[in-house]
Structure 1
Amino acid sequence: MVGIPPGRHGVRSHGFASLGSLSMLADAVLSAHGEYSPCSPALLSTAVESNEGNDVPLIDGFVNLVQVGQGGFSVVYSADEIAFTRRVALKVLKFTGDEARRLEREARALGVLSDIPNIVQVFQITHTNDGRSVLVMALMQEPIARETRRGFQQQLDALVWLDQVAQALDKAHLRGVYHRDIKPENILLAADGSANLVDFGIAGLGGLASGTTTAFSFSPPFAPPERLTGTEVDLRAGDIYSLGSTFYAVFTGSAPFGTTTDGGVHGLITRVVTALPDQPEWMNAPTHAAFLTAMAKDPADRFASASEFAAELRRGIS
């Protein structure tokens, strides 16, 4: 690690829960967090045609379903939409009831953002023949998470993606929509190579935290420390932190503070709250400083906008 620029990134203890109390929080966080994305099966070698032995759902107007991913609450399929002769992504809830409200919340958030480039387009909400809610979306290609897993990412490509997502995120913030779960799996590449933000299932529709997020509905390796400690009040600053941690992973090949496999959930939370991201040997000081500002422990010390972070990172690399 390197020193922190004076007056910018100091770790402040006020507002955070004591480390002793973090074990209670850690017990509530899923140590295995399933991922899902509306991705093209042509680029996902793990795509299967059924949900681990369960029947593929029947949805009027859609045929040739192929599973391309899943998470704790939903399964995503690619499918042919008969009426428009196009391939789409179908996000199908595993359950009925409360989780349907989460999907409706996502559709409502995406409806507000439907004209913003680089945010996945939603076409409609429908239902399976057994009554589960389905979100019909534009079909994307591969997630930038696949680039992360390869351990190498050309910086210029990553900067283009960051510019695209940052501009989309700033426009969403201006409309009062906050993502709250930015991570590599939630940024997908379209056929033209552009980066698109997806999964607004826990989006905040307003400037302050609503208290509706739970340990089951966000990703600890990329979440801001104030969310992990239950002290979040500024959703904009939380999104900027998660954007910084996501692109740190894209640039370096790993999450800034590891995952739950490195010392368990409690160890991860402790690192997020107290540690600073390492500076790889190849990363220059200005680039590292941009990441430090985006991921500052105090939300007030972070960039004022996502685009400001993108511009500062570009200056550091150039």
Structure 2
Amino acid sequence: MKRRCLNCMKEFGIPEGQEQNHFACPFCGYREGTPPKEITYLYPGTILQNRYIIGTTLGAGGFGITYKAWDTTLEMVVAIKEYYPAGMVQRVPGDPNLIVYGGRHQEEFYSNLERFLEEARKMAIFEKSKNIVHVENHFEANNTAYIVMEFLDGISVKEFMKQEGGKLDMETALEIAFAVSEALQEIHDASILHRDISPDNVFLCEGNKVKVLDFGAARLSDTEKEVTRSIILKPGFAPPEQYQTKSKQGPWTDIYALSAMLYYCITGVMPDESTNRKIEDTVVAPKELDPSIPDYISDTIMRGMAVNEALRFQNIGEFQKALLKEKKVVDDKTELKKRKRRRVFTIAAAVLLLAVGGFAAWRIYDSKDPVLNPATITVWVAYSGDEDADSAKQMMEDMSDMFQSDQAAVTVSVEAIPEEQYADRLEQAKADGTMPTVYQAEYASEEIQKSAASVKPVYNSMDNLSDYYFLKSYKKKLIEEKEVPLGFNIPVVYVRRSDTVDASSFELSRISDIQESQYYMDSAYADMLINTLGGSYHYENGLAMDNAAKELIQDVVKHTKSNIKLENSEKAMDGFANGTVSYYLASVRELQTFNKNVVGLYEMRPIQSNTLCGRFTDAYSISGSASKDEIAAARVWLRYMLEEGPQKTYHLVHRHAIPLQKDAYRVYVDNNSKLSLIDGYLDNLKFYPENEKKLETLTEDLWKQVVRKRTKTIDEWCEEQK
């Protein structure tokens, strides 16, 4: 009679009539009946799904226990991972069923259980990959879930390093790193992150195969619970963003871990924990530990291990080219100095979110809404000359992905329209009866806005208005205007560096501060600038402009008349570049334009005033001609767009304006020193959402007639408006 060893899975013979006795395996020495190492583990011999016989334990982590097992159907050895989140469950020794703790643990357990299974489904797509462990099956049993994977006959990189004396030769280490990078490329292409690359999660198998495993549990590190996250992290290999709640992670997160693993393999030195490195970075370059390590390998590793995620390689392709010496790189510290010298405007949070796209690793939105009826909502998004239709459309689609995953019955269809055509397209759609469900209110006529659907339910469904700047104070007016803004804007002055002006400390409080120098006032933000610089310029059932505003405009006319470079923003930017324009009055929204055209030549400085005037921006409205279900879906979608995650995508990545959501705002401001001046505006900022579009239309005509063509004086123009 034969019996299978539950450790090595080989069969061995036992004497007849002694079936009830326990024997030691003649091949590996394992004695039958030996209890598991921990009482929480399944006992060897446990049968799952009438098919899999559980053997000894291969390993355990914060979210799971992995067993060696025998597949009686395919007659082969497999590995089975059991979902077992430490701290949330317990098990009576010998009983396979899990007991889930009550309260918040229960909700979290079942939420992550579904994510565990979802990860298994995603892993299954890599069945043909040569560098990723194959998933054979997944199922639920014993009040938990299991993932059945191919059994890897080999050794982990961690164990292999011990055998090799603590570190690996360069050739072997690079072969492993390239194999892991190929696996990560496949994983990232499928919009998945591993988030647990380390020497004990990379296996060296027979036939010189390298296999990446255990990224099913790592996917769960998205949880909000700090204690849960800390169990998964591998100190020394996890980048700083993995220690943060609500962090933004992408391919660069895995690149840090892979670079740290390569560092460890070739030096034998464990990199210091990334959180410590943020305080004081004592990690030295590999070439300093071993002079035989080539400079380009050392620099590639340090660049991949940059604490600042914006300095890392942003995708696996860049990392591979650097290791192959196809792309010249410098280490992280040198790169940072180089960027500072060139004063390149980089924002780490923006770079992080760019690669994430529809994959919501940083998901923050929790749906509080009822399940919606089937509906398709069309969204028209405007794009300027600096953008392109595809990127504008993709941005909105990416932001809507998580909304659609929560509201499966709703489809969001996006169309990108050039901003110069937007108003005409809306008018045509109004006439044709083909209005989009959601449109940008700033391009809509008064007639269109009159027939817009109410957005009051959007604001009423938000029980956290205190988490937003200004919405609580201006809720009533915004409801009256039937608009939901996604951001706000403030006036600033861009000061050109010169020998006569200290651009780093200049503050503008009145127009007389710069009257003797050439300046340009961007007409797109003239209403904010005039009101902020001491004038009064409003539309309340008619134009209201005081003498201070008129004098300010007259000064603008004088400057424009004396210098052709001040006729429009394009010429003014050229003048700023060559030094004939010293001050450019605009808004924070123009920061991208300045970085694109005159990077390193300017400082963005605040305007000091008791009458700071801001503007709500990117305001969306809902068509009143849409169906009941479409309007209901559009309202929920608009509320979703105000949540922290979408706010970060919309503003940090695409630089549309300043986020209204406070957490997104904080990240927006903290990630670039130039933006810190915005904090000084918050307490005194005033908005005039009512009749804002009318004032913008009048301002456009004012600049055309009075400032540029000068066919009328300011008094004549004002008289015509009465």
CA positional deviation for 1:107: 0.2
Give 5+ residue unaligned stretches, structure 1: 1-38, 259-267
Structure 1 40/108 Cα, relative in aligned 2: closer, same or farther at 3 Å? farther
Greater mean deviation of Cα atoms: 209-218 or 146-155: 209-218
8 Å Cα contact 1:220/1:228 also seen in 2: no
Superimposed CA distance per residue, residues 164-218 of structure 1 (whole angstroms, 9 cap, x where no aligned partner):
111121122122111112111111122222111111235559xxx9565722332
Q: Counterpart of 2:135?
A: 122
1:91 alignment partner in structure 2: 81
1:306 matched to 2:316: yes
Residue from 181, 186, 210 that aligns with 1:195: 210
What is the letter of the counterpart of residue 150 of structure 2?
A: A
Distance change >3 Å, CA 202–CA 228, structure 1 → 2: same
Runs ≥4 residues deviating over 4 A? 39-42, 202-205, 209-213
DSSP 3-state at the match of 2:296? helix
1:275 aligns with 2:308: no
1:293 corresponds to 2:303: yes
Of 131-140 and 82-91, deviating more is 131-140
- 2:135 maps to 1:132: no
Assess, with a 3 A threshold, how the Cα gap between structure 1 residues 217 and 200 changes in structure 2: closer, same or farther. Answer: same
- Give the superposed CA RMSD: 3.3
Asked if the contact 1:295/1:302 (under 8 Å) is kept, the reply is yes
Q: Which of 262, 278, 284 matches 1:247?
A: 262
After superposition, the Cα gap between the structure-2 partners of 1:288 and 1:156, relative to the gap in structure 1 and judged at 3 Å, is: same
Q: CA deviation at 1:92?
A: 1.9
Which letter maps to 1:287? I
Taking a change above 3 Å as real, the CA distance of residues 74 and 64 of structure 1, as seen in their structure-2 partners, is closer
Instruction: Work out whether residues 125 and 134 of structure 1, in 8 Å CA contact, stay in contact via their aligned partners in 2.
Output: yes
Q: Report the counterpart of residue 101 of structure 1 in structure 2.
A: 114
> TM (normalized to structure 2)?
0.33
226, 240, 250: which one aligns with 1:225: 240
Q: CA deviation at 1:300?
A: 1.9
Structure 2: runs of 5+ lacking an equivalent:
1-6, 11-27, 90-97, 99-108, 327-722
Any conservation in 1 of the 2:174–2:262 contact (CA below 8 Å)? no
Q: Distance in 1 between matches of 2:213 and 2:318?
A: 21
Farther-moved stretch of structure 1 (110-119 vs 153-162): 110-119
Deviation, structure 1 residue 67: 1.6
SS of 2:230's equivalent in the other structure is coil
- Pairing partner for 1:50 from 33, 36, 51: 36
User: 3-state SS of the aligned residue for 2:55?
Assistant: strand
Deviation at 1:273, TM superposition (A): 5.3
Secondary structure at the aligned position of 1:135 is classed as strand
| Equivalent residue number for residue 160 of structure 2 | 147
Closer/same/farther in 2, CA of residues 304 and 176 from structure 1, 3 Å limit: same
With normalisation by structure 1, the TM-score equals: 0.71
Aligned partners of 1:40, 1:178: CA distance in 2, in Å? 32
Query: Is the CA contact 2:241–2:249 (under 8 Å) kept in the aligned structure 1?
Result: no
| Cα distance between partner residues in 1 of 2:198 and 2:310 | 21
Partner of 1:162: 177
Q: Is the 8 Å Cα contact of residues 159 and 310 (structure 1) preserved in structure 2? A: no
Letter in 1 for 2:296: P
Counterpart contact for 2:155–2:203, Cα < 8 Å: yes
* Compared CA separation, residues 313 and 273, structure 1 to 2 (3 A): farther
Deviation at 1:230, TM superposition (A): 4.3
> Does 1:63 find its partner at 2:53?
yes
